[in-house]
Structure formats: C-alpha cells, structure tokens
Chains A and B, each alone.
Chain A
Amino acid sequence: MVTFSYTVRGAMGLHARPVAELATAARAWESEIWIVVGARRSSARDLMGLMALDARCGDELAVSVAGPDEDAAAEALREVLTF
C-alpha cells in the first residue's frame, strides 16, 4: 500500500470540478484508492462520496492506494492533486 497526504489549496475546496478530475484519474487504475478527511472516508472513484467529504481549503487529504498498480496509480494521483 502507498500512502501520502495532500493539503487542499483551492479556496473552494473539493467541489464538483476537482472531484470530477480526481475520480476520473482514480478510475483508470485497478488499485483501491481511498481518501480520508478527518472522520470521513470515500473511495476516490465515488463522485458523491468525494463531495460529501466536504473538504475545505487547508484540509488534509490522506490518500491510500493498494493494489497491483499502486505505485503508478499513486504517482498519477499526485499529478492531478493540484487543487
């Protein structure tokens, strides 16, 4: 399993547009990808789940990637986490 964290920089937090980008990237991989914010957790493929995380600017996302392509998937996710 590969884990890393990312702090949300965008003033609007994890709203529809970044969620769409993140889920699209996550769906390209076989690995299970989870995002945890505080006490809430969502699959990175789950659009509504990601929006329900209600992640705001400054919140830390704990990302975990587990599966056969976890290294490449984690690398790809780091690239889309720019919001």
Chain B
Amino acid sequence: MGLFDVFKKKEAPAAPAKPAAVAAEAAAGVLCAPVSGRVIKMTDVPDPVFSGEVLGRGCAVWPEDEMVYAPVSGTVTVTMGHAVGIQGDDGVEVLVHVGVDTVNLQGKGFTGYVKQGDAVKAGDPVIKMDRAVIAEAGYADCVVLAVSNTAEFASVELAVEPESTVAAGAAVVKVSK
C-alpha cells in the first residue's frame, strides 16, 4: 500500500454503535427484566388497558436507566418505536411497551436497535428511551412487560416481590403451561 492510499480511502459513515448486551437469567418459561428499576404488579400500571391485563399478564418496571433489553430469546415480531413484540423460542409472546401513551411521541425520544424478523437473545438491547423527552411530554415512563398470549398458559406470575429493585436481565416473571 502506497503512502497516498491513506488519503484515497473513503471515510466510513459512523454507524450508531449497538450497546452491549446484559447477562440475562434466561430459561424456558422465564421473562427477564427489560430495564433496571423497581418492579410493580401489572395491576398497578397507571393505565386501564395494562392494569386490566387486557394486553396480558406480566409486570412493569419503573426504570432507573434508559436502556431496554429483550426479556426473552426469540424473534422480533413487532417494532413500534416505543414498543417491541417478541415471539419467544419457548412459545411465549411478549410485548415490551415503554411508557404510557408514548405512542403519541411517534418515535421521538426512542432509538430502536431491532427490526421485525430479527433474532434476539434475552438481554440484547432493543430500545433506548430518552426519559427527559417522555417526562417533558407528561407521560409515565414505566416499562410494561406483557405476555400477550397469556390465555395459552396456566399461570403467569411475578418471580420477585412487588416493589423490589432489580437489574436488567434478572428473572422477574415465570410462565407455566
């Protein structure tokens, strides 16, 4: 390589670096915390569609961090800016919904790292939220974890005490047939 080849080289566009994954306590029938923070019961989410478990049983986490991770390993079926749906390898369908009414932000304040059809592992980063943008819009930023095919399971239960603080990737919900 000649000296001047250095100057001929086109500069590669700076790709947004994908954040690192976290270690997840992944197992069949286990949903991991999508974000670090305080776990609450689904029935305590400040929105009737979630608290009424219309979108399924599960839990929510009041975040202490902005990075949201896949709760299960599987295939991405839905991406909506503020939400991601994953078809788990073990048959569980999980919706990770960041915040309440955040659909109205039309993606503002959210960075997505996955697209429909992607394979993900539990603990892989899926969305980064800007909590300041959500707060400024007046929305709650709790991250809801809902098993959308709850009807196919005998039980969907919390695996930790409500109000306990967990790290992203910790086992928080157990699902059994």
Contacts and interface: CB of A to CB of B under 8 A. Distances in A.
Q: In terms of DSSP, what is the predominant structure of the interface of chain A?
A: helix
Contact of B95 (A46, A47, A54): A47
Given A47-B149, A51-B95, A15 B85 contact: no
B88 to A, nearest CB: 11
Contact of A48 (B49, B78, B103, B106): B78
A77 to B, nearest CB: 16
Interface stretch (A16-24, A30-38, A61-69): A16-24
Interface string B36-66: 0000000000000100001110000000000
Q: Which of B55, B95, B116 has the most chain A CB within a 10 Å cutoff?
A: B55
B129 to A, nearest CB: 16
Contacts of A54: 78, 116
Interface of A: 12, 15-17, 19-20, 23-24, 46-48, 51-52, 54
A24 B52 CA distance: 11
Contacts, number: 48
Q: In terms of DSSP, what is the predominant structure of the interface of chain B?
A: mixed
**9 residue pairs, one from A and one from B, having the closest CB atoms:** A47-B148, A20-B54, A51-B78, A48-B93, A48-B148, A15-B103, A12-B103, A52-B77, A20-B49
Interface residues of B, number: 19
Nearest to B53: A20
A52 B78 contact: yes
A52 B85 CA distance: 8
Given A16-B97, A16-B103, A20-B55, A48 B80 contact: no
Interface in B68-116: 77-78, 80, 83, 85, 87, 93, 95, 97, 103-104, 106, 116
